[in-house]
Structure 1
Amino acid sequence: RAARERAVIDLLTDGHSAESLPLVATDPGADVAPHLGEELELWLREQRDEQVPIALDTPVVTGALDPDIVRRIAHAHVAEVRSCYRAGLTKDPELAGRVEIELSISATGSVTGSKVSETTLTDQFVGKCIAKAAKRWKFPKPSNGLAVRASLAHELGSDR
C-alpha cells in the first residue's frame, strides 16, 4: 500500500511518466488508497499557498525595536496572512490590494493591540483576519523596556 501511495505522489509531484513507475498490485476488490485523496488535497493546498503572492513593506516602528526584527517576525507568520487572504479570494478571485496593520507591542513583546489602519481591499474581513492573527504574535522585548508601535503593510496579490 505504501509503495502505491508513494508512486502516485511521485507521479504528481515530480512529473514522472506513469510508464516509468513500477507496477504494484492491489488486492482484488480493495480500494487503492482511500486516504490518498486527502493527502493529495493537502499537497495541492500547499502548492496553491506558493501561488498566492504576498509582499511585506518595510515596517515603520516607533520605539526601541529594530524594524528588521519586526519584518522577520511578520514574515514568519506569512502563512496566517495568506490564510486570511485566501479566505477573501474564495469570495472574490480578483481580490488584491494593500492592508496596513497597526500593532501595539508591550514591554514584554506581546501584542496588546492590533487594528487595520488602512486598506485598499474591498473585503474588510481580510484585514480584520490579519489583525486578529497578529494579536497572537510574539516579539522580543524592546531594548529600553518601553512599549512600541509598529505599522506593517502587506501587499496582497503582489510578489514584487
Structure 2
Amino acid sequence: MSTGGAVAAKGGLSPEQVRRVVVAHEGALRACYESEAQRNPNLRGGLTVSWQIEGSGSVTSASVASSTLDNARVEGCVVRQVRSWKFPTSDTSTNVNYPFKFGVGG
C-alpha cells in the first residue's frame, strides 16, 4: 500500500499532520487489502477517501470519493478504519481527500 498523490487537507490541520496519522495506521489499511488479495491475486488499484475531522480530532464522516479497485470489501474496510482514527485537535474542522494505492509499486 502506498499513498498515491497529494493529500488535500483544508481547515485546521495541515496535510503533514493528516499524513502522520495515516502512516501510523498503514498496517490496518494493508490488512484490508491483503485479506481480499488472497482471494483475488490480481486485485490492484487506487482508492481516494474523503473525510471530515472535527476540531476535537474525531472523524465525523468518511466515504469513498473514487476507486479503481472495484472491491466493496476493501473500500468498506478502509472507510471503517478511517472513521476510527483520532487526529490532533485544532481550532476548526478539516476536510480531507486522501489517495491510496494497493497492489502497485509497493
Please tell me whether the aligned partners of residues 114 and 131 of structure 1 are also in contact (alpha carbons under 8 angstroms).
yes
Give the match for residue 31 of structure 2: 83
Name the % identity: 28
Between the two proteins, the alignment pairs up a number of residues equal to: 105
User: How far 1:66 moved relative to its partner?
Assistant: 0.8
Structure 1, unpaired ranges of 5+: 1-53
Matches within 5 A, 1:17-36: none
Matches within 5 A, 1:1-160: 54-56=1-3, 57-142=5-90, 145-159=91-105
CA distance in 1, matches of 2:24, 2:60: 19
CA distance in 2, matches of 1:100, 1:128: 12
Please tell me whether the aligned partners of residues 58 and 71 of structure 1 are also in contact (alpha carbons under 8 angstroms).
no
The structure with the largest strand share of the pair is 2
Partner amino acid, structure 1, of 2:84? R
Please tell me whether the aligned partners of residues 43 and 69 of structure 2 are also in contact (alpha carbons under 8 angstroms).
yes
User: How far 1:122 moved relative to its partner?
Assistant: 2.1
User: How far 1:128 moved relative to its partner?
Assistant: 1.0
Which contiguous aligned blocks of 4+ residues in structure 1 show a shift greater than 6 angstroms? none
- Structure with more relative contact order (C-alpha pairs < 8 Å, separation 6 or more): 2
Please identify the structure whose Cα radius of gyration is greater: 1
Please tell me whether the aligned partners of residues 12 and 55 of structure 2 are also in contact (alpha carbons under 8 angstroms).
no
TM-score (norm: length of structure 2): 0.92
Q: CA RMSD in A?
A: 1.2
Partner amino acid, structure 2, of 1:55? S
User: How far 1:58 moved relative to its partner?
Assistant: 2.8
Give the match for residue 17 of structure 1: none
